[in-house]
Chains A and B, each alone.
Chain A
Amino acid sequence: EPEVTQTPSHQVTQMGQEVILRCVPISNHLYFYWYRQILGQKVEFLVSFYNNEISEKSEIFDDQFSVERPDGSNFTLKIRSTKLEDSAMYFCASRLTSGGQFFGPGTRLTVL
Protein backbone atom coordinates (compact mmCIF):
# COMPACT_ATOMS: atom_id res chain seq x y z
CA GLU A 1 0.00 0.00 0.00
CA PRO A 2 1.45 3.40 -0.95
CA GLU A 3 2.48 5.61 1.94
CA VAL A 4 3.98 8.99 2.74
CA THR A 5 7.60 8.80 3.86
CA GLN A 6 9.64 11.37 5.78
CA THR A 7 13.31 11.80 6.54
CA PRO A 8 15.00 12.09 8.91
CA SER A 9 12.95 10.52 11.68
CA HIS A 10 14.76 12.65 14.27
CA GLN A 11 16.76 15.85 13.76
CA VAL A 12 18.72 17.59 16.48
CA THR A 13 20.01 21.09 15.73
CA GLN A 14 21.41 24.14 17.44
CA MET A 15 19.32 27.30 17.78
CA GLY A 16 19.86 29.56 14.78
CA GLN A 17 20.76 26.75 12.39
CA GLU A 18 18.87 25.92 9.24
CA VAL A 19 17.09 22.57 8.86
CA ILE A 20 15.43 20.90 5.91
CA LEU A 21 12.77 18.27 6.52
CA ARG A 22 12.03 15.96 3.64
CA CYS A 23 8.88 14.19 2.55
CA VAL A 24 7.93 11.92 -0.32
CA PRO A 25 4.15 12.12 -0.75
CA ILE A 26 2.06 9.34 -2.28
CA SER A 27 2.93 9.38 -5.97
CA ASN A 28 -0.36 10.33 -7.63
CA HIS A 29 -1.46 12.79 -4.93
CA LEU A 30 -1.92 16.43 -5.85
CA TYR A 31 -2.23 18.32 -2.54
CA PHE A 32 0.56 18.47 0.01
CA TYR A 33 0.61 19.73 3.56
CA TRP A 34 2.88 20.30 6.52
CA TYR A 35 1.58 20.15 10.09
CA ARG A 36 3.38 20.31 13.39
CA GLN A 37 2.61 18.98 16.85
CA ILE A 38 4.39 20.37 19.88
CA LEU A 39 4.68 17.72 22.59
CA GLY A 40 1.38 17.32 24.43
CA GLN A 41 -0.46 19.76 22.16
CA LYS A 42 -2.76 19.46 19.18
CA VAL A 43 -1.78 19.02 15.57
CA GLU A 44 -1.50 22.44 13.88
CA PHE A 45 -1.70 23.29 10.19
CA LEU A 46 1.33 25.06 8.74
CA VAL A 47 0.98 25.18 4.96
CA SER A 48 -0.74 23.64 1.97
CA PHE A 49 0.82 23.31 -1.49
CA TYR A 50 -0.88 22.69 -4.81
CA ASN A 51 0.15 23.10 -8.44
CA ASN A 52 3.70 24.04 -7.43
CA GLU A 53 2.76 26.90 -5.18
CA ILE A 54 1.62 27.63 -1.66
CA SER A 55 -2.17 27.65 -1.58
CA GLU A 56 -2.67 28.52 2.07
CA LYS A 57 -0.51 29.13 5.13
CA SER A 58 -1.16 29.66 8.81
CA GLU A 59 0.11 32.50 10.97
CA ILE A 60 2.73 30.08 12.32
CA PHE A 61 4.26 29.86 8.83
CA ASP A 62 6.25 33.09 8.95
CA ASP A 63 9.26 34.22 6.90
CA GLN A 64 11.61 31.70 8.50
CA PHE A 65 9.65 28.85 6.88
CA SER A 66 9.62 27.86 3.23
CA VAL A 67 8.45 24.88 1.22
CA GLU A 68 9.59 23.50 -2.07
CA ARG A 69 8.84 20.67 -4.44
CA PRO A 70 12.23 20.48 -6.17
CA ASP A 71 11.38 17.48 -8.35
CA GLY A 72 8.42 15.24 -9.07
CA SER A 73 8.61 13.33 -5.82
CA ASN A 74 10.09 15.30 -2.92
CA PHE A 75 8.39 17.96 -0.82
CA THR A 76 10.56 19.85 1.65
CA LEU A 77 10.07 22.18 4.59
CA LYS A 78 12.95 24.52 5.39
CA ILE A 79 13.29 26.40 8.66
CA ARG A 80 15.91 29.09 8.13
CA SER A 81 16.94 30.01 11.65
CA THR A 82 15.55 27.60 14.19
CA LYS A 83 14.28 28.69 17.59
CA LEU A 84 13.75 26.66 20.73
CA GLU A 85 9.99 26.85 20.22
CA ASP A 86 10.31 25.15 16.82
CA SER A 87 10.93 21.86 18.66
CA ALA A 88 8.02 19.62 17.63
CA MET A 89 6.96 16.69 15.49
CA TYR A 90 6.55 17.79 11.90
CA PHE A 91 4.14 15.77 9.78
CA CYS A 92 3.83 15.81 6.03
CA ALA A 93 0.49 14.80 4.52
CA SER A 94 -0.89 14.35 1.03
CA ARG A 95 -4.20 13.73 -0.64
CA LEU A 96 -5.47 12.99 -4.14
CA THR A 97 -8.47 15.24 -4.79
CA SER A 98 -11.25 14.20 -2.46
CA GLY A 99 -11.07 12.12 0.68
CA GLY A 100 -8.63 11.98 3.53
CA GLN A 101 -5.16 13.27 4.02
CA PHE A 102 -2.57 10.58 4.63
CA PHE A 103 0.16 11.42 7.08
CA GLY A 104 3.81 10.46 7.05
CA PRO A 105 5.48 9.08 10.18
CA GLY A 106 6.82 12.50 11.15
CA THR A 107 10.19 14.08 11.89
CA ARG A 108 10.94 14.89 15.51
CA LEU A 109 12.85 18.20 15.53
CA THR A 110 14.77 19.07 18.68
CA VAL A 111 16.31 22.55 18.87
CA LEU A 112 18.96 22.99 21.56
Chain B
Amino acid sequence: GQNIDQPTEMTATEGAIVQINCTYQTSGFNGLFWYQQHAGEAPTFLSYNVLDGLEEKGRFSSFLSRSKGYSYLLLKELQMKDSASYLCAVFSGGYNKLIFGAGTRLAVHP
Protein backbone atom coordinates (compact mmCIF):
# COMPACT_ATOMS: atom_id res chain seq x y z
CA GLY B 1 0.00 0.00 0.00
CA GLN B 2 0.87 3.67 0.05
CA ASN B 3 1.44 5.45 3.33
CA ILE B 4 2.98 8.84 4.01
CA ASP B 5 3.03 10.14 7.58
CA GLN B 6 3.79 13.61 8.84
CA PRO B 7 2.76 15.48 11.99
CA THR B 8 -0.59 17.23 11.75
CA GLU B 9 0.40 20.52 13.35
CA MET B 10 3.50 22.33 14.59
CA THR B 11 4.11 25.73 16.10
CA ALA B 12 7.31 27.76 16.13
CA THR B 13 8.59 31.24 16.90
CA GLU B 14 9.62 33.86 14.38
CA GLY B 15 13.37 33.67 13.75
CA ALA B 16 13.66 30.08 14.98
CA ILE B 17 14.36 26.82 13.15
CA VAL B 18 11.77 24.08 12.66
CA GLN B 19 12.10 20.54 11.32
CA ILE B 20 9.11 18.77 9.76
CA ASN B 21 9.49 15.02 9.49
CA CYS B 22 7.98 12.66 6.93
CA THR B 23 8.06 8.88 6.77
CA TYR B 24 6.84 6.93 3.78
CA GLN B 25 6.05 3.42 2.63
CA THR B 26 5.15 3.32 -1.04
CA SER B 27 5.13 0.64 -3.69
CA GLY B 28 7.42 2.68 -5.90
CA PHE B 29 9.84 5.52 -5.24
CA ASN B 30 11.36 7.89 -7.76
CA GLY B 31 11.97 10.85 -5.49
CA LEU B 32 10.47 12.93 -2.70
CA PHE B 33 9.09 16.44 -2.88
CA TRP B 34 8.16 19.08 -0.38
CA TYR B 35 5.47 21.59 -1.25
CA GLN B 36 4.14 24.61 0.61
CA GLN B 37 0.42 25.29 0.54
CA HIS B 38 -1.32 28.36 1.90
CA ALA B 39 -5.02 27.98 2.68
CA GLY B 40 -7.15 28.01 -0.46
CA GLU B 41 -4.13 28.07 -2.77
CA ALA B 42 -2.21 25.59 -4.89
CA PRO B 43 0.83 23.69 -3.65
CA THR B 44 4.09 25.44 -4.57
CA PHE B 45 7.29 23.51 -5.08
CA LEU B 46 9.96 23.82 -2.39
CA SER B 47 12.45 20.99 -2.82
CA TYR B 48 13.17 17.64 -4.45
CA ASN B 49 15.35 14.78 -3.21
CA VAL B 50 16.09 11.70 -5.25
CA LEU B 51 19.39 10.65 -3.65
CA ASP B 52 20.22 10.33 0.04
CA GLY B 53 21.50 13.42 1.76
CA LEU B 54 20.78 17.06 2.28
CA GLU B 55 19.63 19.55 -0.35
CA GLU B 56 19.90 23.20 0.64
CA LYS B 57 17.98 26.02 -0.97
CA GLY B 58 18.21 29.34 0.87
CA ARG B 59 16.29 29.15 4.15
CA PHE B 60 14.93 25.71 3.27
CA SER B 61 16.77 22.38 3.38
CA SER B 62 15.48 18.89 2.80
CA PHE B 63 17.00 15.58 3.78
CA LEU B 64 16.32 12.08 2.49
CA SER B 65 17.22 8.60 3.71
CA ARG B 66 15.82 6.04 1.27
CA SER B 67 16.83 3.05 3.40
CA LYS B 68 14.83 4.43 6.34
CA GLY B 69 11.94 5.78 4.26
CA TYR B 70 12.46 9.13 5.96
CA SER B 71 12.74 12.76 4.99
CA TYR B 72 12.65 16.08 6.76
CA LEU B 73 12.22 19.70 5.76
CA LEU B 74 14.22 22.25 7.73
CA LEU B 75 13.09 25.85 7.76
CA LYS B 76 15.52 28.42 9.18
CA GLU B 77 15.03 32.05 10.23
CA LEU B 78 11.30 31.56 10.32
CA GLN B 79 9.10 34.41 9.14
CA MET B 80 5.40 34.98 9.73
CA LYS B 81 4.74 34.31 6.03
CA ASP B 82 6.03 30.74 6.53
CA SER B 83 2.76 29.92 8.32
CA ALA B 84 1.28 27.39 5.91
CA SER B 85 0.82 23.67 5.35
CA TYR B 86 3.87 21.71 4.26
CA LEU B 87 3.17 18.68 2.11
CA CYS B 88 5.47 15.71 1.75
CA ALA B 89 4.91 13.88 -1.56
CA VAL B 90 6.48 10.81 -3.14
CA PHE B 91 7.02 10.42 -6.86
CA SER B 92 5.71 6.98 -7.68
CA GLY B 93 4.92 4.84 -10.67
CA GLY B 94 6.10 4.83 -14.25
CA TYR B 95 4.58 8.22 -15.04
CA ASN B 96 5.52 9.69 -11.71
CA LYS B 97 2.28 10.60 -10.07
CA LEU B 98 2.65 12.35 -6.73
CA ILE B 99 1.35 10.63 -3.60
CA PHE B 100 0.80 13.22 -0.92
CA GLY B 101 0.84 13.08 2.84
CA ALA B 102 -1.90 14.88 4.72
CA GLY B 103 0.35 17.88 5.33
CA THR B 104 1.76 19.59 8.40
CA ARG B 105 0.14 22.85 9.38
CA LEU B 106 2.85 25.19 10.68
CA ALA B 107 1.94 28.24 12.75
CA VAL B 108 4.70 30.83 13.25
CA HIS B 109 4.20 33.14 16.23
CA PRO B 110 5.93 36.47 16.94
Q: Which residues of A contact B (CB under 8 A)?
A: 31, 33, 35, 41-45, 48, 50, 55-56, 58, 91, 93, 95, 99-106
B60-109 CB contacts (< 8 Å) to partner A: 87, 89, 93-103
From B41, B93, B98, B103, contact of A101 by CB (8 A): B98
- Category for how many chain B residues contact A: 20 to 34
Residues of A within 8 A of B97 (CB): 33, 45, 48, 56, 58
| Measured CA separation A44–B101 after assembly (Å) | 9
Residues of B within 8 A of A45 (CB): 97-99
Residues of B within 8 A of A41 (CB): 102
19 inter-chain pairs at a CB distance below 8 angstroms, sorted by A residue, are A31-B95, A31-B96, A42-B100, A42-B101, A43-B43, A43-B87, A45-B98, A48-B96, A48-B97, A56-B93, A56-B95, A58-B97, A91-B42, A93-B98, A100-B33, A100-B45, A103-B42, A103-B43, A104-B42
Decide if B48 is an interface residue (CB 8 Å cutoff). Answer: yes
Decide if B11 is an interface residue (CB 8 Å cutoff). Answer: no
Residues of A within 8 A of B95 (CB): 31, 48, 50, 55-56
Inter-chain contact B94/A56, CB cutoff 8 Å: yes
